[in-house]
Structure 1
Amino acid sequence: METAVRLAEQYRGGHIENIHFGHVCGVDEHGNIVYSAGDPEWMAYLRSAAKPFQAIPAFVHGTPEAFGLTDKECTIMTASHRAEPYHVEALESMMAKLGLGEEQLICSPSHPLSPAARDEMLLASKPKRRLYHNCSGKHMGILAYSKQKGYPLEGYGESQHPAQVDVLDTIADMADYPKESIRVGIDGCGFPVHALPLNHIARMFLKLACPDLIADEGASRAAGHIGRLMNEHAEMVSAPWFICSILLKDPNIAAKGGAKGIYGFALRDERIAFALKVLDGSEDAWPTIIASILEQIGYRNQETIDRLYALAPKAFRNDGGVIVGENKAVFRLNRNE
């Protein structure tokens, strides 16, 4: 096991204030580790980065068509949404089409993650809702799949539930990793959460971006469909001001992050993918790290890199607009020939 490396640093007044350690792995279409910083086989929980893959069984079996779901409704099955009004509208529409009650979701009632939506709710003294939980689209998708397949709706978040067994099989196949070696915990929303080495997480994202690498025809079609939807409706995956939606605006990229610093993304034309883990769990360092990865490999779309630096500027300002510090990526990718 290799030692973690410094991935990003933040300076204030010329003095270092924050250091983000972690690991990065890049793989090619053959599953070979071609780029690394730190330990490319670090075991990491997927958290919400799993959501596009958790949706695959439903797409394989035609769940969206069975219930007449729109493209935006399908996309929110992959999302860590911010409960913006358009997210809630899609979720309420799905709930009506599925004939479900909000109380059937096991995710906890929450405030919206969108600051504007949260403030509006608080000012109006509106209660928390399960639909506001950023994982509610994933939960709705699993409930829809269970209903279509005739699986019980009760206990849909338990690891032994047949829908969750199907998800675990899908993750193992997408990752090219033995199912019995996948570590299973419980996610914040109540779902099973799976831990795999970073190089196998990167393989999953490469298959999402390049579904021709998937042997099973149904899974290949489903992954291709999911990947297209995430690009075409990027605002449904998180929000226009969050990194996932910003990266997905680039049609060459498949991407999704999860809690506690895990991120995966793939480049379709280049047929390479990366998985990274920030060990302190910070999401703030993601844009700086991913922009540096893209620069180091010579990525051609400067607009995407610029959007990342707009999200986390190299020179950052205080509340008064004064430049007070600097964000730096400080790692170098090792190129493995």
Structure 2
Amino acid sequence: MGFTTLVEEYRGGILENVHYGAVTVVDEKGSILYKAGNPEHVTYLRSAAKPFQALPVMKRRIDEVYGLTGQEASLFTASHRGEAFHIAVLESMFQKMELNEEGLHCCAAYPLNEEAKAERHRANEPKRKIFHNCSGKHAGLIGLSRHMGWDEKTYYDPNHPAQQEILEMMAYMAEVPKESIPQGIDGCGLPIFALPLHKIAYSYLKLACPDLIGDADVRNAAAVIARLMNENPYMIADTKFVCSELLKDNNLSAKGGAKGVYGIGLRKERIGISLKVSDGSEQVWPCIIASILERIGYGNQATIDRLYALVPNEIVNDGGTPVGERRAVFQWEA
């Protein structure tokens, strides 16, 4: 699979845990600048696909069709973690779009944010589909289907026009034939796609730098999506998550997905980054991403500092006493 050691974790000076994976950095021509592990490794984007799944929605300006605010429209791309402010904005969006949450194909769930989940338990509230982290994406696709006159009840079917257009958008952004893209079913029940890591990095570069996109409608949709994500970072994840911390930096387009996959585009530097942690860990994302930014000489130290503050490299025990450390140990390969 071409994985290499990305992060080592030590306790009392003894190596306790190792996270393997791969990192790829590409330039605006899609050429590989740096790599650790195999840039051809194929992995599902999972929720890192959400900005691209939103392209058909924003191409039709579904936000304007239903009179949505920027906060509401940003949820089309989000893996919101169910904090109270997320649910309030979702309920406003659903009211404007005249949506019933029971029409969502995703399952009922509790919020991913632990405090928000505990609040719902304390209130003896049941699981709800609107609490699911993908509910905003599903709402956008229902709104698109209704606007286009497509069957809104089967929007999740791989053969549905909305899903076929998403596949075409993904292939267009990655510059690969759509027939070459493996497909599966994501946790929320929608089709999901797999790409080589260097193509994920290139797709994120184009999201950050839409001037690289030839088609004017897609270019404009990508620009709107990227802007909304930067303007509403807390809507994309929550107040204590790496996606939101990265999106506070207006130079970055960024989104992670389940099982350790991440994509980042840098505007001024005009490079794309992707990574995959083989064991699916998200806890080591900040360590890896901060190290990548340091190694390429990234100029915004505040972004790097926020990542280290989110998940410090110093490992502490339950009482807060330092007991070890984690280190990004990957090396760029020729």
TM-score by length of 1: 0.98
DSSP 3-state at the match of 1:69: coil
| Residue 158 of structure 1: how far off its partner (Å) | 1.0
The aligned counterpart of 2:223 is 224
The aligned counterpart of 1:55 is 54
Q: Quick one: distance in 1 between partners of 2:101 and 2:252?
A: 33
The aligned counterpart of 2:44 is 45
Q: Quick one: distance in 2 between partners of 1:96 and 1:323?
A: 49
Identical columns (%): 54
Q: Quick one: distance in 1 between partners of 2:176 and 2:88?
A: 38
Q: Quick one: distance in 2 between partners of 1:318 and 1:228?
A: 39
Matches within 5 A, 1:163-174: 163-174=162-173
Gaps of 5+ in 2: none
The aligned counterpart of 2:136 is 137
| Residue 4 of structure 1: how far off its partner (Å) | 1.1
| Residue 13 of structure 1: how far off its partner (Å) | 1.3
Amino acid at match of 2:316: R
DSSP 3-state at the match of 2:108: coil
The aligned counterpart of 1:20 is 19
| Residue 236 of structure 1: how far off its partner (Å) | 0.3
Matches within 5 A, 1:254-333: 254-333=253-332
Matches within 5 A, 1:232-271: 232-271=231-270
Q: Give aligned pairs, total.
A: 334
Contact conserved, 1:210 with 1:271, CA < 8 A, in 2?
A: yes
Show CA shifts across 1:273-324 (max 9, x none): 1111101111111111111100110111111111111112121212211001
The aligned counterpart of 1:66 is 65
Q: Quick one: distance in 1 between partners of 2:50 and 2:293?
A: 24
The aligned counterpart of 1:183 is 182
Answer yes or no: is 1:97 the counterpart of 2:96: yes
Show CA shifts across 1:167-223 (max 9, x none): 000000001111000000000100001001011111110010000000000111111
Contact conserved, 1:49 with 1:264, CA < 8 A, in 2?
A: yes
DSSP 3-state at the match of 1:154: helix
Gaps of 5+ in 1: none
Supply the RMSD in Å over aligned alpha carbons: 0.9
Q: Quick one: distance in 1 between partners of 2:25 and 2:36?
A: 9
The aligned counterpart of 2:213 is 214
| Residue 95 of structure 1: how far off its partner (Å) | 1.2
Show CA shifts across 1:110-158 (max 9, x none): 0111111111110110111000000101101111111111110111111
| Residue 86 of structure 1: how far off its partner (Å) | 1.2
Amino acid at match of 1:230: M
Contact conserved, 1:312 with 1:327, CA < 8 A, in 2?
A: no
Contact conserved, 1:296 with 1:333, CA < 8 A, in 2?
A: no
Contact conserved, 1:56 with 1:222, CA < 8 A, in 2?
A: yes
Q: Quick one: distance in 2 between partners of 1:333 and 1:70?
A: 43
Q: Quick one: distance in 1 between partners of 2:150 and 2:317?
A: 52
Q: Quick one: distance in 1 between partners of 2:183 and 2:279?
A: 21
Contact conserved, 1:37 with 1:333, CA < 8 A, in 2?
A: yes
TM-score by length of 2: 0.98
The aligned counterpart of 1:81 is 80
DSSP 3-state at the match of 1:193: strand
